[in-house]
Amino acid sequence: MDKTYFLLSLSLFLVLFHGSLGRRADRPCQQQQQGQCQLDRLNALRPDDRIKCEAGVIESWDPNHDQFQCAGVAVVRRTIEPNGLLLPSYTNAPQLVYIVQLICVWFFFSGKVLTGTLMPGCPETFQESQESRGQGSRRFQDQHQKVRQFREGDVIALPAGVAHWFFNEGNEPVVAVSVIDVAHSANQLDVLSPRNFYLAGNPEDEFRQVEDQPRRHGEQQTGRESYRGHGQQQCNNVFCGMDTRFLAEAFNINEQVARRLQGESDRRGNIVRVKGGLQIVRPPSLRQEEQIQQQRPGEQFNGLEETMCTMRIGENIGDPSRADVFTPEAGRISTVNSHNLPILRYIQLSAERGVLYNEAMMVPHWNLNAHSIMYAIRGQARIQVVDHSGRTVFDGEMREGQVLTVPQNFAVVKRAEQNRFEWVSFKTNDNAMISPLAGRTSAIRAMPAEVLANAFRISVEEARRIKFERQETTLVSLRSSRSGSWAEA
C-alpha cells in the first residue's frame, strides 16, 4: 500500500512539475516584444532578399518587419539544386524546417533529402565496416553521427546551437522553408535577431542588416539579389577569425590544410555542388531493411534508438492519410506537436499543414497560445484577420510563396474561392491550440442560447440556429446544400 501511494504521489508530482514547466516564461523576449504587436495592418509578404549560390538560391524575409518582430521569428526559404549541399551551420535559436517541394518518385518512403544533426557528446553510430575497406589500401575508416532521410511534407526540428547540413541527392530542386524562433529563451544574443554560424565555406549572411529603419504597417521593399563576384575576397565561417597555427595544432594538421578550413578563396556561396554525389555511410531503404530483417529473424533492437542522440527530429504532415481533420468536400488539416514529436517540447514550436478545396472555408478561429506564421504552398485564398478592437488588419488574397503572420488571439478566417489552397503554419508553442468561432466545437456553440440571444439582441430561436446550423467542426464546404440541419436544444 505504501509503495502504491508513493508511486501515485510521484506521478502526480511529475505531472504538476511538467505543467509548471509548460507555464513558465519560455520566451523571455516577450517583455521586449510588448508594443511590437500594435499592428494597424498586416500584409502577405514576399521575400526581401535573394542570394544566388553555386547550387541553389536563398531567399529571406526582413526580420525587422513589424509582423515578424511581433511573432519573434525570422523566415528563410532555400532552394537546393540536385547534388546541392547546404553547408554545415548552426543558429542562435531553434527552428522548424518544412520540405515544401521535392519532385521525384518515392519508393517505400526512401527520401532524397539527407540531413545530419550533430548533437554534442553523441557517439558516431554510423560506422563503416571492416569489409568495406579496399584490399591492400590503407585509409581511415569513416564514422559519423546519424544521417536522416526526408521527403516532401516533412517537418524537421532543429534545436538552437546544433550544427546541421542538408544534401539533395534527387534529380529535381528541393524547396525548404524555415522559421527561426528568435524570441525563444535559447537565444541569448541580440533580441529578435537571427544569426547563422557556418562551419565551412565562405557564405553570405542570410539575414543581412537592412539599412533602412524597420518598416511599418506592412510596407514591402523591392527584393534585391546578390551574387558573390570573382573579385570579392572575404571569410565568413567560424574558423576565419582563428590563427592558422591554432587550427593546425587543434586538428594536428599542417597550416596549408588549416587555411582551407577558413575558405578565403571559396566563392561558391552557402549551397555548394557536390560532384558525383555524397558517398557516406547510411542505412538501407525500407525495402532493403525488410529483406535484411527477414534474413535475421532473431535480431533485436538494443535500445540505442531511445536515447537523446537518436531521437526523432522529423514528422510528415503532407501525406493525406496522416490528416487529423478531414472533410471530403472541404479539405484536411494535419498537425505536429510535442505529443507526436517529443523534440518539439524542447524547442517550443509546432506546425499545421492545411488543404482547402475549391469553395471551402476554415471556420473563423483564434490561436489561444501562439503566434501563427503562414506560408502559402500552392494556390490562393481570401483571408481576413481581425484584432482585439474589431479592426480588419488584413483582408485580401494570399498566394503561393507569400508569408502572413497572424498574432496570438487575432481572429482569422480562410476561404478558397476559385483554386485549391495549401499552406503550412509554424506556431510559437509546442502545443498550439485554436478555438473556433463557428461549428460544433466552437465557443458560440458552447454558450447557452439565452446568453447568445441577449448578447446579440436576437430571439432565442435565432440563437439556436446560430448554435446548431453548422455541424462541421473546422472545415466547411460552401458548395454543400444548406438544408437547415440544426437541432433543438
Q: For position 377, what pLDDT does the model report?
A: 97
Hey, what domains does the chain have and what are their CATH numbers? Answer: 30-310 (2.60.120.10), 318-477 (2.60.120.10)
Q: For position 366, what pLDDT does the model report?
A: 95
Q: How confident is the model at residue 16 (pLDDT cuts 50, 70, 90)?
A: very low
Q: For position 82, what pLDDT does the model report?
A: 94
Alpha-carbon distance of 114 to 148, in angstroms, equals 6
Tell me: pLDDT of 111 over 90. no
- List, for residues 430-474, the tens digit of each pLDDT value: 999 999 999 889 999 999 999 999 999 999 999 999 999 888 999
Pairwise pLDDT comparison (34 vs 387), residue with the higher score: 387
Tell me: pLDDT of 270 over 60. yes
Tell me: pLDDT of 122 over 70. yes
User: What backbone torsions phi and psi does residue 74 show, to the nearest 5 degrees?
Assistant: -130, 150
Pairwise pLDDT comparison (228 vs 99), residue with the higher score: 99
Q: For position 236, what pLDDT does the model report?
A: 85
Q: At what angle do helices 244-251 and 255-262 cross, to 10 degrees?
A: 110
- List, for residues 330-343, the tens digit of each pLDDT value: 999 999 999 999 99
Q: What is the mean pLDDT of residues 271-284?
A: 82
Alpha-carbon distance of 262 to 254, in angstroms, equals 13
Look up residue 321 and give its amino acid.
Answer: S
Apex 375 CA angle, 386 and 51, nearest 5: 130
Percent of the chain surpassing pLDDT 90: 57
Query: Do 116 and 145 touch, CB atoms closer than 8 A?
Result: yes
Q: For position 224, what pLDDT does the model report?
A: 54
Render the burial of 1-24: b for 16+ CB within 10 Å, e for the rest. Answer: eeeeeeeeeeeeeeeeeeeeeeee
Q: How confident is the model at residue 353 (pLDDT cuts 50, 70, 90)?
A: very high
Alpha-carbon distance of 311 to 162, in angstroms, equals 14
Q: For position 128, what pLDDT does the model report?
A: 67
Q: How confident is the model at residue 320 (pLDDT cuts 50, 70, 90)?
A: very high
Q: For position 342, what pLDDT does the model report?
A: 93
Alpha-carbon distance of 417 to 395, in angstroms, equals 14
Alpha-carbon distance of 410 to 368, in angstroms, equals 9
Residue 23 C-alpha cell reads as 507555464
Q: For position 105, what pLDDT does the model report?
A: 38
Q: For position 287, what pLDDT does the model report?
A: 46
Q: Which residue has the cell 594538421?
A: 253
Q: For position 102, what pLDDT does the model report?
A: 58
- In 3D space, the residue among 32, 30, 95, 18 whose CA is nearest the CA of residue 426 turns out to be 95
Q: What is the mean pLDDT of residues 256-278?
A: 89
In the DSSP assignment, the letter for residue 208 is: P
Q: How confident is the model at residue 113 (pLDDT cuts 50, 70, 90)?
A: confident
Alpha-carbon distance of 29 to 183, in angstroms, equals 5
Q: What is the mean pLDDT of residues 391-417?
A: 96
* Cα maximum dimension of the chain: 91
The pTM for the full model equals 0.81
- List, for residues 285-307, the tens digit of each pLDDT value: 544 444 444 444 444 444 444 46
Alpha-carbon distance of 67 to 240, in angstroms, equals 34
Those residues with Cβ within 8 angstroms of residue 298's Cβ, 6 or more apart along the chain or in another chain = none
- Phi and psi based region of residue 20 (left: phi greater than 0; alpha: psi -120 to 50; beta: remaining): alpha
Q: For position 332, what pLDDT does the model report?
A: 97
Q: Give the lowest-confidence range in 94-98, 211-215, 477-481.
A: 211-215
Q: How confident is the model at residue 235 (pLDDT cuts 50, 70, 90)?
A: confident
Residue 65 C-alpha cell reads as 518587419
Q: For position 89, what pLDDT does the model report?
A: 94
Q: What is the mean pLDDT of residues 236-250?
A: 90
Q: Chain-wide mean pLDDT for the chain?
A: 80
- List, for residues 18-67, the tens digit of each pLDDT value: 433 333 344 544 444 455 788 889 999 999 999 999 999 999 999 999 99
Alpha-carbon distance of 210 to 190, in angstroms, equals 15
Tell me: pLDDT of 160 over 70. yes
Q: How confident is the model at residue 311 (pLDDT cuts 50, 70, 90)?
A: confident
CB count within 10 Å of CB 31 equals 9
Tell me: pLDDT of 213 over 60. no
Alpha-carbon distance of 449 to 17, in angstroms, equals 39
- List the end-to-end C-alpha distance of the chain, in Å, as a whole number: 48
Alpha-carbon distance of 276 to 111, in angstroms, equals 18
Tell me: pLDDT of 218 over 80. no
User: What backbone torsions phi and psi does residue 361 show, to the nearest 5 degrees?
Assistant: -135, 145
Max avg pLDDT among 128-132, 214-218, 379-383: 379-383
Tell me: pLDDT of 399 over 90. yes
Question: How many residues in total does the chain contain?
Answer: 489
